[in-house]
Structures are given as structure tokens and as C-alpha cells.
Structure 1
Amino acid sequence: MSDAGWMRAARIGVSFAALAGAQGAMAQEGLAAYQGAWLAGGTGCAEVYASSGKGTSFKKPIDIFAPAFIISGNRLRTPQASCRIRSVRPSGDRQRLVLDCANAVAGNEVRVFISSQPDGSLKRYFNEQDTAGSSYQRCSS
């Protein structure tokens, strides 16, 4: 490859890296209202989460069945999986999150629909047709 060809390839690589960084920044902006630890009803926050100087984490031993998740930056963690939030986009009155998730067994892409509620809670929907959703209360910011 000529020097001009290498330079063109380098510029394309830098362009893709900048685009990926911009998408990450857009995802972070769309996530500002969702940062923190969230828990579905029935269990108290103190039973699922522990706080430390570094923030909130799942209490050990981790209850893998707890209906809980933590959003920190562009990461979403559940008791069983860790996900990178690839994108956040409006979908009607909801936000559609595209996640790259991995657990002890496998990794896959997951789509999640969420919306903020007037009382400060959050609703998670299984798909665009789900009208009921599951409510989550914030345990920490």
C-alpha cells in the first residue's frame, strides 16, 4: 500500500473511532436521568445493595434472582450480567437502550425499553407492545 493509501486508511480509522466516541457520549447524555441503583418492589434496597466509597454495588452474597440493576456511566449491571450501553434512542414516550451483555455463560445483544415516571420511578417494558411494564424505584443516584 502506498503512503497515500496508509494515510487514507488511518483517517478512516480515526473517523470511526470519533464516531464511536460520539455515540458513547450521546448514550451517556440520554442516560443522565437513569444513573443509579434500581429495584423492583417487594424487597428493600438495603437487602440487595451495599454502599461504599466507590458507589453502590450488589450485596454479597449476590441474590441472582433480585429484580435489580445499576446504571453507572454507559454500563448497566444486573445480579447476573454486565452490559455496555451501545445506544439510547427515543421510541415514542420511552427510551430504547441497545446493550451488549455478557454473563458467565454467553454474550448477546439486548434491547430494553424504559421510561421515567412522574413519581421518580422507572418502568421497564419487555417490548414496544408491552403497555403495563415493570416498575422500579431508585435506591441511590
Structure 2
Amino acid sequence: MPMKAILLTLPLMLGGATQLMAASLDALQGAWTAEGTSCTDTFKTVNGHSEFKDRGASLNSGIIVSGKKITGANAVCTAGRVREEKDRLTISMTCADTIMFSDMSVSFRIIDKDSFERFDPNFSDVLTTYHRCSP
């Protein structure tokens, strides 16, 4: 393929990758709490959006996904690459807490529009089920 053709198609290929990531993360947008915990115990609604009641609580098992940002009780992560395989998403994330940062990958299996399972890609039998909370 001539260099000019490569340069002309590069923005289309990159734009497609961005759309794929956005579409993948769309299913996870919002506030979620782990099975066995209550949305009302974990979140409060402020100006129509969910926020943690007490983000630092040791029993907090919720997460909030907003765009590429995934906020949990102990860290804030930014999603990088997203790989889709059938009903599973593996997301490469950079996470930071108050004193350190790290890179990690986490996998999700979408069950339906209001629930998913989170698991370690290396240990898919260890999982946590989350349910969507309404703001």
C-alpha cells in the first residue's frame, strides 16, 4: 500500500479503535455495587449523579464508571486499551491511590444491562458480581 494511502486511512483506523473502546465501556457506565451490598448504603445522589456516601469506608464495594475513569473505594483508574472477546471485556488500566500508582488488567463479563462479573484474567474462577445502581 502506498504511503499516501496509509496516511489517509490511519485516522479512520484510529477513529475506529476509539469508537470500539467507547462502545465497550458504554455498557459499564454508571454506579455499581457488589452483590450482597445495597446501592443506598454505598451511594448518594447529588445533582442527578451518583457519588460515594463514604468512599473511604472499609466495607465500600462500589465502583463508578464515568467515561474512561473507574473510581473505587481505594483508587481511581483510567482505562486504556480494551479487548473484547465474545461477552468479555479486558481493560488495561492505570490506577492511582493517595501514594502510589500501578498498571493492571481486569476482565468483565457482561451478564445483562444491569449486571456484570469482574474477574482476574489469570484466575477467571475468582469473581465478583456487580449490579447497576440508579442515580
The interval holding the TM-score normalised by the smaller chain is 0.7 to 0.9
1:137 aligns with 2:125: no
Q: Which residue of 1 is the match for residue 52 of structure 2?
A: 58
Deviations 1:93-139 (A, max 9, x none): 31001111100120111100001114731100122441352111111
Q: Which residue of 2 is the match for residue 33 of structure 1?
A: 27
Q: Give the Cα–Cα distance (whole angstroms) in 2 for the partners of residues 77 and 61 of structure 1.
A: 9
Q: Which residue of 1 is the match for residue 4 of structure 2?
A: none
Q: Which residue of 2 is the match for residue 8 of structure 1?
A: none
Q: Which residue of 2 is the match for residue 69 of structure 1?
A: 63
Q: Give the Cα–Cα distance (whole angstroms) in 2 for the partners of residues 64 and 118 of structure 1.
A: 28
Deviations 1:21-54 (A, max 9, x none): 7755432221111101111122211111111116
Q: Give the Cα–Cα distance (whole angstroms) in 1 for the partners of residues 49 and 113 of structure 2.
A: 24
Q: Which residue of 2 is the match for residue 90 of structure 1?
A: 84
Q: State the percentage of identical aligned residues.
A: 26
Output the amino acid matched with 1:34.
L
The answer for unaligned runs of 5 or more in structure 2 is 1-9
**Structure with greater strand share of residues:** 2
SS at match of 1:47: helix
Q: Give the Cα–Cα distance (whole angstroms) in 1 for the partners of residues 87 and 105 of structure 2.
A: 16
Output the amino acid matched with 1:79.
A
Deviations 1:50-92 (A, max 9, x none): 1111611111363143121110111100011111111211135
SS at match of 1:26: helix
Bigger Rg, which one: 1
What does residue range 119-134 of structure 1 map to in structure 2 within 5 Å?
Answer: 120-131=114-125, 133-134=127-128
1:117 aligns with 2:111: yes
Given the superposition, is the C-alpha separation of residues 22 and 82 from structure 1 closer, same or farther in structure 2, using an over 3 Å criterion?
farther
Output the amino acid matched with 1:124.
R
RMSD: 2.7
User: Structure 1 segments of 4 or more deviating over 4 A?
Assistant: 21-25
Output the amino acid matched with 2:106.
V
Q: Give the Cα–Cα distance (whole angstroms) in 1 for the partners of residues 20 and 87 of structure 2.
A: 18
Q: Which residue of 1 is the match for residue 102 of structure 2?
A: 108
